[in-house]
Amino acid sequence: MDVFIPTKQHRGTCYIVGGGPSLKGVELSPLPFPSIGVNLSYRKVISPYQLIGDQEFFRQVPEAVLELKSFPKTHRVCVISLSWPSIHALKCKYMRKERCIGFSKTPDSLCWHLPGIDSGNTGAAAVNLAQRLGFEKIILLGFDMNIIGEKNWHDAYSNKTSVEKINKHILQFEGLAKEAKILGIKILNANVDSAIPYFEKISLKEALKGG
């Protein structure tokens, strides 16, 4: 399995498609701009880049291996862990996980944990990937992070997240927001009720028109 080192080959706007319940029942295909999919988002829309990072993802969703193998050859499937034996059947690319505040500066790595905190966050890693690919405007879809209520638009995960883990996820976005502002990258969160306080919020309807 080969490492993926992203380069600034894009400009303009991209979406990052998360798993929050605000996307439940929402039709996303087609999107007006390129997208980076997070974990199971490919069941809602096929993205040019699909990032898999959740621990035990392939144990909880074993059929994902066959689903991801059917991706168009023009699309990139990337994992950020080599701990699952089944992923080697995908013959996809991988990137490493890094502990950092803000964007990882290591070419083959993405931000995953905050220093001293096990905060593993595929959504944050996807924001880092969008920055690495050169996108100047990032629209977050399904980045709800709300403690009360449903946690995903799907019910594929048997292991449910905790309040403690969600709070760690939220904290990780603070450093990304600060660094994105310095770099001139605009990040919009397409959920006015999202618990993430660090990004400008817009309605999902506005976001799907391009923000």
- Over residues 115-172, the pLDDT tens digits come to 999 888 999 999 999 999 999 999 999 999 986 667 687 877 766 677 888 899 999 9
Task: Please name the amino acid found at residue 31.
Answer: L
pLDDT attached to residue 106: 96
Tokens of 100: 């950092």
d(CA 115, CA 83): 21
- Domains and their CATH numbers in the chain: 13-207 (3.90.1480)
Length of the chain: 211
pLDDT attached to residue 162: 79
Which residues, 6 or more positions from 52, have their beta carbon under 8 angstroms from its beta carbon?
39, 64, 68, 77, 78, 79, 80, 87, 122
How confident is the model over 168-191, as pLDDT tens digits?
A: 999 999 999 999 999 999 999 999
Long-range Cβ contact pairs of 155-160 (< 8 A, separation 24 or more)? 156/40, 156/60, 156/61, 157/54, 157/60, 157/61, 158/60, 159/56, 159/60
Whether the Cβ atoms of residue 181 and residue 108 lie closer than 8 Å to each other = no
98-127 burial, b at 16+ Cβ within 10 Å, e below that, comes to bebebbbeeeebbbbbbeeeebbbbbbbbb
What's the predicted TM-score (pTM) here?
A: 0.94
How confident is the model over 75-119, as pLDDT tens digits?
A: 999 888 666 666 677 778 889 999 999 999 999 999 999 999 988
Whether the Cβ atoms of residue 31 and residue 208 lie closer than 8 Å to each other = yes
Task: Please name the amino acid found at residue 25.
Answer: G
pLDDT attached to residue 152: 80
